[in-house]
Amino acid sequence: VSLAGRDLVRIDDLSIEEISALIDLARRLAPVARGEVVTRVLEGAILASLFFEASTRTRLSFGAAFARLGGDVRETVGFTFSSMAKGESIADTARVVSGYADVMVVRHPEAGSVQLFADAATIPVINGGDGPAEHPTQALLDLYTITEEFRVLDKPLEGAHVLFCGDLRYGRTVHSLAKLLNLFDGIRFSLLSPPELSLPDELVALLEDRGHEVMVHTRPPTDAKVDLVYTTRIQRERLEEEMTIDLDPGLQVNRDFLARVGTKDTIVMHPLPRDSRPGALDLSTDLDDDPRLAIFRQSDRGIPVRMALFAAIMDVAEGIEASFATPRWRSSRSFG
Ligand code: ASP
């Protein structure tokens, strides 16, 4: 797979063939991600990582993925320490960074802002999350997780019943994943959220127009046994200040919830972070020892997926295994 010089701003930037090729490449790069082999294919290349919004996983995993391919990472975090605090435009920032680095990852609180970076940059720009709009690399790692988990269970993706719950309005990972799953056939989507946080109408229409069954719920469905529960945090930072949401404890994904909507083979995913503050009613820790909870396997998979994307964009994917060498060190990293 080669995506030489391409941007990834929204999931629609990729065809289904390119997506499956990226997932295959991620699988081939998993030994590098696990530290069993090392490679230096990106030696001398620089990633500029520009994060203007809170992040742990996305920022670290992009950086770690680039570094594990032998590249170097330079970062700027937040508006305060960037020249945007001096009134610099996105276009000027993007042009300047294009002279320093070979690829750029940007996270920004406004929908559409990463496209502005891509328009002005001369190097590839990857969207690390633009406000409530999209988070395409999270969708890729989510799809990788779903295919790996379903493979173990010997389940096809086609025909699967997926329950999205939590904040479907402002949760950008759901938006990108819904668009990605929309490319497959015959998926049944159940959408469960407080009414104020329902999936935007245009996304529901997109799924329906492609012939998928879409069911909207404000209470957990009683007659369904779903294959996947994908739950999300309420995106409080995106709610209007005066907006208070009456959270129904019945919507929290926990052991009882899963007993009602799931089977012994139902996978539970969450893009993380999980909001552990009292009253947040995010994914419960009572499922932490349950093997169906895939959240840390999911976050681990961010590394091989982001490595695959960099390898494709920097055009080093073909025959990449020839660059693999044995590491001289041992790591005690653990994998979900
Ligand atoms: N980490 C994900 C994101 O940046 C999910 C979240 O923040 O709730 O969109």
Residue 335 scores a pLDDT above 80: no
Considering 27, 34, 57, 95, which one is annotated as catalytic?
57
| Average pLDDT of span 36-54 | 97
Residue (of 119, 122, 115, 120) closest to 100 by Cα position: 122
The mean pLDDT value of the chain amounts to: 95
Give me the percent of the chain exceeding a pLDDT of 70.
Answer: 100
User: Do 196 and 245 contact (CB within 8 A), yes or no?
Assistant: yes
Does the pLDDT at position 310 exceed 90?
A: yes
What local confidence, expressed as pLDDT, does residue 266 receive? 98
Q: What is the mean pLDDT of residues 224-230?
A: 96
Q: State yes or no: is 212 an active-site residue.
A: no
Percent of the chain beyond pLDDT 90?
A: 90
Point out which residues pair with 191 in neighbouring strands: 164, 216
Query: What pLDDT is attached to residue 328?
Result: 94
- Catalytic, 76? Answer no
SS3 state of residue 237 = helix
Per-residue confidence band for 334, with pLDDT thresholds at 50, 70 and 90: confident
- How far, in Å, is the centroid of ligand 1 from the Cα of 233? 8
Site to probe by mutation for ligand 1, drawn from 59, 106, 135 as the one with most ligand atoms within 8 Å of Cβ, is 135
User: Is residue 81 scored above 80 in pLDDT?
Assistant: no
Q: Which atom of ligand 1 is nearest to the CA of 135?
A: 9
Q: How confident is the model at residue 330 (pLDDT cuts 50, 70, 90)?
A: confident
Q: What is the pLDDT of residues 55-72, one digit of tens each?
A: 999 999 999 999 999 999
255 is catalytic: no
Mean pLDDT of 39-52: 98
**What's the token pair of residue 32?**
């590098």
Active site residue 58: yes
Residue 173 Cα, ligand 1 centroid: separation in angstroms? 7
The question of whether 107 is a catalytic residue gets the answer: yes
Identify the residues whose C-beta falls under 6 Å from ligand 1.
129, 135, 172-173, 232-233, 271
**Can you give the pTM of this predicted structure?**
0.96
| pLDDT single digits (tens) 161-211 | 999 999 999 999 999 999 999 999 999 999 999 999 999 999 999 999 999
What pLDDT was estimated at residue 332?
85
- Per-residue model confidence as pLDDT tens digits over 99-132: 999 999 999 999 999 999 999 999 999 999 999 9
The pLDDT of residue 289 is above 90: yes
Atom of ligand 1 nearest to the CA of 271: 5
Query: Taking 80 as the threshold, does the pLDDT of residue 241 lie above it?
Result: no
Q: Where are the alpha helices (DSSP H) in the chain?
A: 16-33, 57-68, 90-98, 113-120, 136-153, 172-181, 201-209, 255-261, 295-300, 302-313
Q: Using the atom order of ligand 1, give the atom closest to the CA of residue 57.
A: 1
Q: What does the pLDDT read at residue 57? A: 95
SS3 breakdown of the chain: % helix, strand, coil, rounded to 5? 40, 15, 45
**Active-site hit among 6, 10, 58, 137:** 58
